[in-house]
């Protein structure tokens, strides 16, 4: 029995001796792995990354210059826009002023009622005799004009008769009524838009500016004839060297007749 116990003990001891090496302390690969990890981690944070910081600084400096340029251009654009706005405001103001100046009582067109006995200015645009009657076929009262630009004060009651009976004359630009209230009430602006008034015709006759002379094209055929006749009379005593033949040429093209030839004929007859 004691031998068996001894054998078992020996076996147990042997077994114990054999099992002890199964947990070796020497095999510590974790430490080695940690060391390797530490070494690799140290390599991943290189100090050489510092030069990258200099590149953005240069880039920022360039960007700042570009921003300054853009800012300057925006300021210039803003100044130009402001100037354009001021110019537009000035043009609109002048336009409103010119519209207001056309009428004797332009601010009171709606407020002031036209009375039958109120005197209204009527202006002739014909170079010669013009008769305006208050009734058809020359009946009623007749008002005569003898030259271009002549004006007469006629009572509104009779002006109304002239407008109703002489609409064709207004359409062709033979005369116009110088009162916005009358023009508005009788819808005369539809004719005035197609004809020239006294001031515009005089500008064409007296100006050397091509822009003013170009207004000749906007006249009715009858008004073109009036303007050409007035111009010929104006220059009849001038030498050929003093005549603006560029102006004469423009008149000829738009009028459809040789104005230079007409000038020669007129001079030969006078």
Rounded CA-CA distance 176/199 in Å is 12
Question: Higher model confidence: residue 171 or residue 109?
Answer: 171
CA angle at residue 170 from 169 to 172, to 5 degrees? 65
- Average pLDDT value for the chain: 77
pLDDT at 156: 97
pLDDT at 69: 79
pLDDT tens profile 186-242:
999 999 999 999 999 999 999 988 888 899 999 999 999 999 999 999 998 888 889
- Three-state SS string across 67-127, please? HHHHHHHHHHHHHHHHHHHHHHHHHHHHHHHHHHHCCCCHHHCCCCCCCCCCEEEEEECCC
Which stretch of 25-29, 59-63, 83-87, 239-243 has the lowest confidence by average pLDDT?
Answer: 25-29
Ranges of each domain in the chain: 69-101, 107-192, 198-269
pLDDT at 66: 78
Retrieve residue 100's tokens.
Answer: 């207001």
142 DSSP assignment: E
58: pLDDT confidence band, cut at 50, 70 and 90? low
Buried b (16+ CB within 10 A) or exposed e, 137-169: eeeeeebebeebebebebbbebbbbbbebbeeb
Res 99 pLDDT > 50: no
H-helix or E-strand containing 259? Answer: helix 259-269
Using an 8 Å Cβ cutoff, are 140 and 133 in contact? Answer: yes
Res 139 pLDDT > 60: yes
Q: Is-above-0.85 flag for pTM?
A: no
H-helix or E-strand containing 161? Answer: helix 156-165
């Amino acid at each position: 029995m004691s031998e068996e116990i001894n054998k078992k003990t020996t076996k147990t001891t042997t077994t114990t001796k054999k099992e002890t090496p199964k947990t070796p302390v020497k095999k510590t690969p974790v430490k080695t792995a940690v060391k390797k990890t530490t070494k690799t981690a140290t390599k991943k944070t290189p100090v050489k990354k510092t030069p990258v910081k200099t590149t953005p600084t240069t880039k920022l400096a360039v960007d700042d210059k570009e921003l300054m340029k853009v800012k300057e251009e925006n300021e210039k654009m803003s100044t130009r826009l402001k100037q354009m706005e001021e110019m537009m405001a000035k043009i609109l103001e002048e336009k409103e002023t010119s519209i207001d100046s056309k009428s004797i009582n332009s601010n009171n067109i709606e407020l002031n009622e036209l009375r039958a006995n109120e005197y209204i200015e009527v202006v002739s645009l014909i170079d010669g005799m013009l008769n305006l009657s208050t009734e058809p076929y020359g009946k009623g009262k007749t008002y005569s004009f003898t030259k271009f630009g002549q004006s007469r004060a006629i009572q509104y009651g009779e002006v109304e008769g002239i407008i109703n009976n002489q609409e064709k004359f207004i359409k062709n630009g033979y005369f116009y009524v110088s009162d916005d209230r009358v023009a508005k009430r009788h819808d005369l602006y539809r004719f005035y838009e197609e004809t020239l008034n006294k001031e515009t015709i005089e500008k064409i006759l007296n100006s050397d500016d091509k822009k003013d002379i170009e207004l000749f094209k906007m006249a009715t055929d009858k008004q073109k004839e009036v303007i050409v006749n007035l111009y010929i009379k104006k220059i009849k005593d001038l030498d050929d060297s003093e005549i603006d033949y560029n102006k004469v040429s423009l008149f000829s093209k738009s009028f459809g007749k040789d104005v230079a030839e007409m000038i020669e004929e007129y001079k030969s007859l006078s």
